Each structure stands twice: as structure tokens, then as C-alpha cells.
Amino acid sequence: MNLTLILFYAMAFITIGSALYVAYSKSLMRSVFMFFITLFGLAGLYVFAMADFVAITQIVIYVGGILVLILFAFMLSGRETLDRLKDAPSLSG
């Protein structure tokens, strides 16, 4: 068993596992933070596909830009967003 293959499969497992948790989790906060791990695992997979620049770009733009943006909006929108996930009442309509 090659070390590269072991690392590749570990990366793939981390990526898909954390993505499954992102989809499974009821809490938006945990979902966002597991998406963090998914993005890092994807950056590792890009390295295995011989695309190191794309991996760095992924970390810089996705993790540094998009995810922080999502967290920012999510934090700014207050607690009700979290609570609305649990009971999910439809106010209008």
C-alpha cells in the first residue's frame, strides 16, 4: 500500500464524511464549521490531482472568503436564525 494512496483515501474519507455531516446536521453552526473541514479536504484532494495552485486558491478564497462571509452573515442575522431551524414556523404566507 502506497503512502500516497493512504493519504488520498484518508483525504477522500474526511471530505465525504464531513460533507455528509454538513447535510445531516440540524444545527446550522455545526454545519458551517464542518463545511470548513470539507473545503480543507477538497484542497488536499486538489494537491493529489497535481493542482497545488488551485488548492491554495481554494483555501484563500473559499475558506478565507466565502466561509467567513457565510459566518458573518449568519452571526449578524442573530439568534432567531438558529431557533428557526428547530421549530421552523412559517411566519408569512
Binding site for another protein (CB under 8 A): 2, 4-5, 8, 12, 15-16, 19-20, 22-23, 28, 31-32, 35, 38-39, 42, 45-46, 48-51, 53-54, 57-58, 61-62, 65-66, 69-70, 73-74, 76-77, 80-81, 84-85, 88-93
The helices-and-strands tally (H runs, E runs) of the chain is: 5, 0
Shortest Å, Cβ 22 to another protein: 6
Rounded least distance, CB 70 to another protein, Å:
6
DSSP assignment letter at 58:
I
Three-state DSSP class for residue 13: helix
Contact 15, 38 (CB under 8 A): yes
